[in-house]
Each structure stands twice: as C-alpha cells, then as structure tokens.
Structure 1
Amino acid sequence: MSTVDDTFEAEPDRAASWMPRRFRSSVRSDELWLVALAALIGGFAGMGVAAIVHLLHAAHFLLFGTTTHDVSGAVYVAPWRAAIVPVVGGLLLGLTMFLTTKLARSVATIDPIEANALFGGRIPVVGSAIVVLQTMISSGFGASIGMEAGYTQLGSMAASKLGQAFNVRRNDMRVLVGCGAAGAIAAAFDAPLTGAFYAFELVISSYAIATLAPVVVASIAAVASMRLLIEPSSFQVGFAGDLSISDYGLVFAMAVACSALGICLMRSVAFVEATFVRLRVPALARPAIGGAAVGLMALATPAVLSSGHAALQVGFGADYSMATLLLLIGLKTAASAISLGSGFKGGLFFASLFLGAMLGKLVAIWWMMMFGLTTPVLVFGIVGMCAMATAVLGAPLTMAFLALETTGSLPLTIAVLAAAVVASITVRRAFGYSFATWRFHLRGESIRSAADVGWIRELTVGKMMRKDVRTVRIDLTREQLKRDFPLGSAQRVIVVDDSDRYAGIVLISELHRSTEEDSSDLTGLLTFRTTTLEPRMTVREAMKVFSSAESDGLAVISDVDRRSVIGFLSEQHALRRYSEEMDRRASETVI
C-alpha cells in the first residue's frame, strides 16, 4: 500500500509563500471560505476523475480493441490481447517501480486515511503522482483492481496542498482531505451522498455539523464538473416494490455470506504476498507474474479484467446460471487477490461491488430453489453488492446511500442498510479489519481508522521529559547520600555507574529508612534497574511502562546500548500533557 519514511514524518507544515496573508486569515477565521475552498477541491476532483476515465477508455480501446467503457464488460476480447496485455502492464509497472526506487528513494506515498490518522492531512505531491500513475497502469492494462485508490489519492492530494497553502488548522486540513476523497468517489459513481459519507466514515472518521457543509459541497461540485466533461458511467437500477418480512431472512443470510467472501478476499491478498516473499520472487518481477495469471483467467471471461465496473452493469441485466455465477465469483476473487498481492496498485471497491452483486444473485437463486422467492433476483444482487462492499471497506452508510442513489427505493435502502450492518458487525467480530486497515496491520501500523492519532505519536517522551537531571555515582556511600539529599528534599535520585551508565533509582524515603546495620553500599537500594524510558516513545507507550512498572517516575536513557541518562519523566506530568492535548484537539472540532 503506502510507505512512509522518517523524513516526511518529521517535516513540519509550511504555509505557501505565494498565498497572501489576508486570504489565509479569511479561510482560518470564516467557515464560509472553507466551504468555498471545498467547492474548489470538489471541482478539481471531478475534473481529475473525468481525465483519468478518458485515459482509461482510450487505453482499453488501444490495448484490448474494445469499444465499451470498461474492458470487463466486453462481449469478446481477442485471446492474445487478454493473455498478453496484463503481462506487459506488469512489466511496465515493474519498470516504474525500479525508476521510482532509483530516482526518488525518499519519496513518501501516503493515502488519505493514513494521512488523516498520522500526519494531520499532509500528503506529498510526488508520492501521490506515483500512486496515480501506477494505478492507471494497473487498471489500464487489465489488472483486476479498481481506480478508486487513484481517484481519492488525486483529490485528497490537491486538497492537502491547497490546505497547506492557506495554512489551515490541523482539523480543517483533515476535513479538506476528506472533501477531496468525497469529490473523487462522488464523481466516480455520480452519487454525491455516497461520496460524502465515504469521506465521513473512512477518511475523516467522524461526523460533525461543522464538517457537513464542506464535504457535501465538495461532492456536489465534483459531480457537476464530472457531468460537464464526460457522461457518467454510473449504473441505475429501478425498483418500486417492497420487501416482505420473509425476505429479510435472505438479506441476513446474504450479509453473512458476503462477510465470509470479503474476509477470504482480504486474506487471499496477504497470502499471495506472503507466497511471493516465501518463493523469493524479486519485487520488480511480481507484477508481470501476476499479470500472466490474470491473463490466463481472462481467457475464460473478460469480466476479470480491470475494475469490473462495466461487468457489473452487464451482470445486473444478465440471466446467469448458478454455474456461471460461481465461475465469475471464483475467477474475480482470485484475479483481484493475485493482482494486489503481486504488486499492482489499486483498490477493491469496484471489485467488491461486482463480487457482491454476483454472490447476491447466486444466493437468491439458491434461496428461490429451496424456499421460493417472489422478489426479483436483481434486488438481492443490489443487497449483496452493498453488503460485500461494506465487508471490505467497512462503510455501511456509504453503501446504503449508494443503494438509494442507484435505485431510488427507500424500502430497498432499508434492506441494504440492514445487510450492511450485519456484514460490518460480522467482519469486525470475525476478522477485525477493513481492507485499508488490514493493509496497515500487515505493514506493522496499529491504526484502525482515520481518527487523528498522529498527535499522540508527536507527543514523545523526549518532548515531555525534564533534561536538568541530577545523578549520583554508585560508589557514593549511604551516609553521604543522606547528607546530600535530606528527607523531603527530593523523592528519588538517579544513580549511574563508573562509566556514567544508568544503574537504577534510589527512593529517598527508602534511603532514610535504612539503618546503620544495613550495608553502606547503594546497590541494595537500587530500583527499576532495567525499566527505563526512551525519548522516541510516545506518551501512550510511556504510560504502559509506568503501569507495568508500578512507578510514578522513570529515567530516560539515550538508547539501550549506551544507557546514558538524558532526562526524567514523571507519570503525573505525562498524564497532564496528554490531557491538555486531548482537550486542545477536542476544542478544534465543533459538534
């Protein structure tokens, strides 16, 4: 997914020098200007999505010889094209990865969720451009993944740079990044409410009255600019009926089935990656191998190629048999897992919609054979589509609004919402991650959402500790130490050895409680000999050390090897600083 280097993590926010101070002050002081900025971001996101869609259509026409909007919906693709083009795409992607490694070793590639969680919404331009380019190569050459990662990366990067230009507050920056992602998804699906709640649930990770206006305005502006430039390729399915109470048994069964398939898909991606590592396949060669596997599956059906957006539109109207549906689900799942696991760049949003729709139709046909069914199978295809996407993305309200904007049916939207909630709970209980947070987990990150935890990592022991620490040598006698530190003068004293390395802490109360019969050596009084803090520890990590050691104060050492004392931190001070930061962050958000 994304990689972050220490250089970017330490880079401070900088206001662009070309932006007049008056404009920056207006945006910081008046939320109407922030809304206007969001509209500008949404318009740019819509234009960016339109440009990418045009380029992908042209690529599919040139490479696969198809006139459809998306190669996955083509009736026929020449076998040699289906087999060879994904391999060429893998080779080209490997070349871009090689050039990126050689020419830009320190470039950070950070997606919107990670940016909002850890970096206050700061997204680098060069890394984002690389992500968009690699995503376009992956989807354009037929890798079985969607473009949503490229869309949101482009929109959020533009929002981040504009926010930095106006020097907006940290919380406003995170909202603007959400506006960029909202505009991108809204333009991609021609669905402003879907885009807005995608931002609320996944990128901003909260909903507040103050964030409603900019996010919704960005979504509407993106859809408007998209419609001015290109005819939207969104799918519209009409449904005017109601679902009976008995239909909800099928809805819940479908939600559980979609959850199982979603977990299988996410684990399959990790399995493919681990297999390449275990076989010691060079990273630059993996996309070509993955492309070869996808090309072989494309010989059976073009539906496995690219995002599957057009295949979804075709699948809604097609009367597939159960065998065909099983084949489509199996091939698309394998193709998506292999594409991402082999190194192609993209997301699973579009793929999960296609898989969910096909699984929904499959379960509905089985249910009809077993128990009978009066509601059209297509309706349960929509329910399955949204339940599967919820299982993968973890955004139930986003999927509910997608169903509403797609069908215009409130009864169906209620059924979708019920299925989405069941799918979300099932995945969280059985697996614990959405696809984005699962990828972070595989990289060793502990974040579970886009909630702002970056400030916690910035609040380190090194920033909170006292540096004016007095130490004593271990060869000092107890009587000498008693004279230097009378009872009440201090709570503790840090002891170092002959090499000025940390030896432990002597509690002054214990020192004065010792009698003359006790040994005059300080060794017997030393506590916390191996329990110390390091300056890079976060406040939460420090609090865990305090709790496990049952201490209200610990020494800070430079590193484990040298063990030289550089400071001291008390638990009380760490708690106070943590509470102050919590209050300050909370005051920035108006509920």
Structure 2
Amino acid sequence: MRLARLPRHHRLRQGIIAVRRWLRASEAAFIVLAAAVGVLAGLSTLIQSWLAHGLQHLFYGVTINRLSALASIRHPWRLLALPLGALALIGLNRWLALRGRTPVDVVEANALHGGRIAMFDNLVIGAQTVISNGCGASVGLEAAYAQLGGGLASWLGQKVHLRRADLRTLVGAGAGAGVGAAFGAPLAGAFYAFEIVIGTYGTAAVAPVITASLVAAAIMRALGPEPWLMATTAVRMITLGDYVAYALLGLLCAGLGIAVMRLVTAAERVMQAITRSSSWRPLAGALLLMPIAWVSPQALSAGHGALHLDLALKPPIAFLLGVLALKVAASVVSLASGFRGGLFFASLFLGSLAGQAFGEVANLWGFGIDPNDAALVGMAALSVSIVGGSMTLALLMLEITHDFALMGVVLTAALVSSAITREAFGYSFSTWRLHVRGSDIRSPRDIGWLTTLTAGRMMRRDWTAVQAGTSVGVFRQTVPPGSVSKVVLVDESGHYGGIIPMAAAHAATLDPDLPIETVARLQDKVLMPAMGIRAILDALDEAGADELAVVNAEGQVVGVLSEKHARRRYLEEIEADQKRMFGEM
C-alpha cells in the first residue's frame, strides 16, 4: 500500500533498481536480456539490408541479383549514383559538424567508454553506411550491422543501468548478433563479439553472447533471405603439402592485408592534402570511382554477388588479378574519400580472388589444389589480417560451407596470417583507423579505466615547498630531518624549480650559506595533470625517480605523485579488470 502511494517517477525508479538487481543476481535474467538484444540486432540488420538493396535497385536497377554481379553497367548515367551518394554524405557530414558531433563506433565505445554509445551515433553511422553501400561505393554493411546491434544493446543496457562489465558484454553480444544475422552464421557472430568487440573470452559471457547471435540469426532466417552457402570439393585428401601450400597463402594474404590497410591511410592523407581537408572530399572520391566501376562492376559495393559469380565461372588468372587490383583501388578510394563502411566482406571477396589465383598458379606448377578450396582459405586468411579474429573466420567458413574437412587448412592459413600481421603491423583495420586518429587502442580490450588514472587524479596535494633563494641553513631550520623525504622547490609565483632530497640538503659537507637550489634535482622532469598512467610510469622510469612534481600549463606546481602510489593504483585496476572479465564484480 505504501508503494502505491509513491509518485509515478519514484515507482519507476524503484522498478528499474529492482530489475538491475535481478540482472546482477541472475544469469538467466541476463540471458533473457541478451535474447531481446538478439531480436533488435536481427531486425536492425534486416532493415539496413533492405534499405541498401532498395537504393541499389533505385540507382542501378538490380532486383534479386547483387550489384557487383552485374556483367556491365549498360547505362553510364547510372554511375551518377556515386556522386549523388557523395552529396548526401556531404550534407550529413556538414550537419554533424554544425552539431559538433563525432560518432563513436562500437569497438572504440567498448574499449574506452565501457560500452556506452549514444543512439544518435548509431543512427548516423548506420545512415552513412547505408548511403555509401547503396550508391555503390566499395564498402560493406557489416560494420553498420555490428554498430546498430551493439548500439541498441548499449541503449537497452543503459536503460536498466547495467554495470560496466555487463554492459560491455551486452554490447559485444549485440554487435556479434548483427554480424551473425548477416551471414546466417551464429557461431561466427558470437566469436566476432569475443574477438573483435569484447576482446576476451569470459566464461560468464558465453551464454548471453551465443544466445543473442542465435536469436538474431533465427530472426533473419524467418524474415529475410536464405543464408548464403558455398559449395566446396565433395571428396578431398588433405596432405602435408596442402598445409604447407595454404600456410604460404596465409603469408601472402597477410602481406596483402597490411598493404590494403596502409594504402587506405596513405590515400586518405593524399586526398586530404589535395582537397585541403574539404568537406567535398567524398565527391572527389565518387568521380574517381566512376571509371573503375565502368571497367568492372565487380568493384562496386561489398562484392557479395561477384564472389559467387567468380567461384562459379572460374575465370582465368589475368581476370582474377585484374579484378583484385580494381577492387583494392575502389575500396581504398572509397574509404579514403570519406564513404562510410567496413572492409569485412570486401576482404572476403579480395581473399577469394587471391585464393583462386593462388590455386590456379599452383596448379600450373603441378600442385593438385582445388581453386574453390583455395578461395575459401584465402577468404579466411585475408579477412583475419584485416578484420582480426582467427576463430571468427574459421567458424564463418565452417558455417557457410558445412565442410569440416577444410577447417584444418583454413585454421592454418588464418593463424599464419594473424601471426604475421600482429608481428609486422600490430593492428586490425578498425584499431588501425583509431590509431591514425591518435588513439593507442590496439585491441578491443577494456582500457577505458586507464583514462581515469591521470596524474591530476592520483597526485598528492599535501606537499612541502621551499622558495628559491632560501639558504641551506634556513632550509635546515625550516624543514628538520625526518619530517618529509623530499621538498619541492618553487619560485615566488609557484613555478617549479626542482625536487630537493632531504638527505642531500642535510649532508654535513654542504655549506649552510649556499642557496638550496644547489642540491635541487629533476628540474626538467615533471608530470602534467592530464597524463595517463602509462605515460606517468614511463616518465618515472626515464627520470629514475620515485616521486615527481605535477605542474599545470603555466609551470606552477599543483601536486606530487610517487611511483609507489601510481603502481599500486595501476595494479589495483588491473586486478579489478580481471575480476570484471570473469564476472566476479
């Protein structure tokens, strides 16, 4: 009775608190929440697919076929869809600039912001990607599927006030569900969540992540087109020679993947220099894409149709290499000029071309390699290099081929490609793009807590100071031995002048009439309030000091931070992160 008399907003708040406690206490409740996320991710994937295909039908006249499977562009005026799409993006980007917003993608949100993504960011990224893919730019929709799936999960999780670790898991589940729905491959979607978005395999996260992906795939199967399957060799004998050959293919794909990622960045810098970072850059990219698309429509869009077409027709090596070069050029130009999208499916298509060409060349030298099998292995190897996630791609190949016999060589090539890419490059495409923008993200692991461990937050404010010009004798009278271990030297305005060790200041051999700055140390070694924990520890190690002063932009001392305290806080947060990963917090 007392609860019914409470105001409505109080009852709503208490209801949310009760739901939050229920979700924290019950694994089954969290799985139900993940299933709801799977429904949302499946529906959002279906809607985005319909919208992009609808634009392609409007611009290019494609119906049940895929844009990249067109034999030719019969009417050149249809390629005006590319500059029209560019103009739409320019308008959207200018509107964003006026609002001062830079959308956050799902990997960055999970790594730095604890899974918190504004719904506005999700809608903008989804719109940009659908426009880019729909007008024919050489980008895929998979990034938007993951963004909307993860974004809707973030929105739902924030509504019920999930803890940071639970919200990150739910966001990963939503992103993986979107990808799993797109391919009709729930296991690949689940491992996409673990490897690409969450960054760890947590035992507590297995059930909700797989549940979301299964539900999303079921929604897509019930309401959308049939998931695409690929035929493989019915009977084969995998020999040691095959493993060696496909390991070599993995090595080649790693090199190609690194080259594509670096080409995107180099082309982006060239495009920015030529256009002087103008907002009209997408239009310049569209004009460059038009002749590429006229030469080969297979360079358009993500490449779904072209992949199946080339596997069925088995074109000659020269054709495969020509399309490979055109597709790389189209993808590089599209991303460098500001079209939005991912390289997931584009990397699958490129990998299939490289694999087919590799198989054909190997057979010219007498090796009995089936080009279709080589194409599948190449798909996994190149995608692992660009997208990351060895198990994600291995399971994707399994789910779209239902061929267990091929998995050994697929994993071999994928692991070789992954190892070479990590060793020689160190990034996936998504984390490389963040690195180019100035972020130090190398994986989707949760490093957001590192941003809270700044010198300004950890510093001690009860430090002892002495003014420059004070004699050693006066200093000894003012600061007796044992009172503190170190004293900060400042001038009349509070500007930093160094650190005075008490042992040096009270040394018996030191002349009492000398100015105290005679024994000052570390005059050029300071910390800034905004410095993160990694930079702090590096600075302390470089200075060989157990304590440094923290100064503001004007050089005035605002605090002191010891190495002991900084390392203790760092280790405490690492331990807390491990507990969150295993569901203990």
For Structure 1 versus Structure 2, the TM-score category normalised by the shorter chain is over 0.9
The offset of 1:527, in angstroms, is 1.1
- 1:91 correspondence with 2:87: yes
Q: What is residue 5 of structure 2 aligned with on the other side? A: none
| Counterpart amino acid of residue 23 in structure 1 | V
Worse-superposed segment, 73-82 or 205-214: 73-82
Q: How does 1:126-275 map to 2 (within 5 A)?
A: 126-242=120-236, 243-275=238-270
Residue-by-residue CA offset, 1:539-560 (whole Å, 9 max, x unaligned): 221111111111111111122x
- 1:572 correspondence with 2:564: yes
Residue 40 (structure 1) aligned to one of 36, 42, 51: 36
Q: What is residue 363 of structure 1 aligned with on the other side? A: 358
The offset of 1:158, in angstroms, is 0.8
TM-score (norm 2): 0.94
Worse-superposed segment, 217-226 or 260-269: 260-269
Q: Secondary structure at the match of 1:144?
A: coil
- CA separation in 2, counterparts of 1:423 and 1:281? 36
| Counterpart amino acid of residue 573 in structure 1 | H
Q: What is residue 5 of structure 1 aligned with on the other side? A: none
The 8 Å contact of residues 250 and 364 in structure 1, kept in 2 or not, is answered as no
Residue 586 (structure 1) aligned to one of 575, 578, 583: 578
The 8 Å contact of residues 475 and 516 in structure 2, kept in 1 or not, is answered as no
The 8 Å contact of residues 531 and 549 in structure 1, kept in 2 or not, is answered as yes
Worse-superposed segment, 285-294 or 176-185: 285-294
The 8 Å contact of residues 141 and 341 in structure 2, kept in 1 or not, is answered as yes
| Counterpart amino acid of residue 266 in structure 2 | F
Q: Which 4+ runs in 1 deviate beyond 6 A?
A: none
Q: How does 1:339-358 map to 2 (within 5 A)?
A: 339-358=334-353
- CA separation in 1, counterparts of 2:65 and 2:508? 85
The offset of 1:281, in angstroms, is 4.0
Q: Secondary structure at the match of 2:493?
A: coil
Q: Secondary structure at the match of 1:221?
A: helix
- CA separation in 2, counterparts of 1:551 and 1:246? 57
Residue-by-residue CA offset, 1:158-182 (whole Å, 9 max, x unaligned): 1111111121111111111110111
Q: What is residue 52 of structure 1 aligned with on the other side? A: 48
Residue-by-residue CA offset, 1:421-471 (whole Å, 9 max, x unaligned): 111112222222211121122112111100111101111111111112232
| Counterpart amino acid of residue 248 in structure 1 | Y
Identity within the alignment, %: 37
Cα 1:520/1:333, change in 2 over 3 Å: same
Residue 319 (structure 1) aligned to one of 314, 322, 327: 314
Residue 498 (structure 1) aligned to one of 480, 492, 500: 492
The offset of 1:392, in angstroms, is 0.8
The 8 Å contact of residues 19 and 165 in structure 1, kept in 2 or not, is answered as no
| Counterpart amino acid of residue 62 in structure 2 | T
- CA separation in 1, counterparts of 2:555 and 2:490? 9
- 1:465 correspondence with 2:459: yes
Residue-by-residue CA offset, 1:171-196 (whole Å, 9 max, x unaligned): 11111111011100000100001101
Cα 1:273/1:17, change in 2 over 3 Å: farther
The 8 Å contact of residues 19 and 166 in structure 1, kept in 2 or not, is answered as no
Q: What is residue 115 of structure 1 aligned with on the other side? A: 109
Q: What is residue 298 of structure 2 aligned with on the other side? A: 303
Q: What is residue 372 of structure 2 aligned with on the other side? A: 378
- CA separation in 1, counterparts of 2:524 and 2:424? 38
How many pairs align? 571
Residue-by-residue CA offset, 1:21-54 (whole Å, 9 max, x unaligned): 1111111221211111111111100000001111
Residue-by-residue CA offset, 1:510-542 (whole Å, 9 max, x unaligned): 111043646421121111112111111112211
Q: What is residue 289 of structure 2 aligned with on the other side? A: 294
Q: What is residue 61 of structure 1 aligned with on the other side? A: 57
Q: What is residue 415 of structure 2 aligned with on the other side? A: 421
| Counterpart amino acid of residue 323 in structure 1 | A
The offset of 1:78, in angstroms, is 2.7
Q: Secondary structure at the match of 2:498?
A: strand
| Counterpart amino acid of residue 255 in structure 1 | G
Cα 1:160/1:229, change in 2 over 3 Å: same
| Counterpart amino acid of residue 449 in structure 1 | S
Worse-superposed segment, 538-547 or 67-76: 67-76
Residue 507 (structure 1) aligned to one of 482, 501, 505: 501
- 1:74 correspondence with 2:66: no
The 8 Å contact of residues 275 and 281 in structure 2, kept in 1 or not, is answered as no
| CA RMSD, 1 decimal | 1.7
- 1:338 correspondence with 2:333: yes
Worse-superposed segment, 236-245 or 538-547: 236-245
Q: What is residue 6 of structure 2 aligned with on the other side? A: none
Q: What is residue 7 of structure 1 aligned with on the other side? A: none
Q: What is residue 27 of structure 1 aligned with on the other side? A: 23
Q: How does 1:467-482 map to 2 (within 5 A)?
A: 467-482=461-476
Cα 1:521/1:237, change in 2 over 3 Å: same
The 8 Å contact of residues 64 and 78 in structure 1, kept in 2 or not, is answered as no
- CA separation in 2, counterparts of 1:496 and 1:531? 14
TM-score (norm 1): 0.94
Q: What is residue 101 of structure 1 aligned with on the other side? A: 97
- CA separation in 1, counterparts of 2:540 and 2:72? 66
The 8 Å contact of residues 189 and 232 in structure 1, kept in 2 or not, is answered as no
- CA separation in 2, counterparts of 1:220 and 1:418? 27
The offset of 1:478, in angstroms, is 1.5
- CA separation in 2, counterparts of 1:19 and 1:451? 32
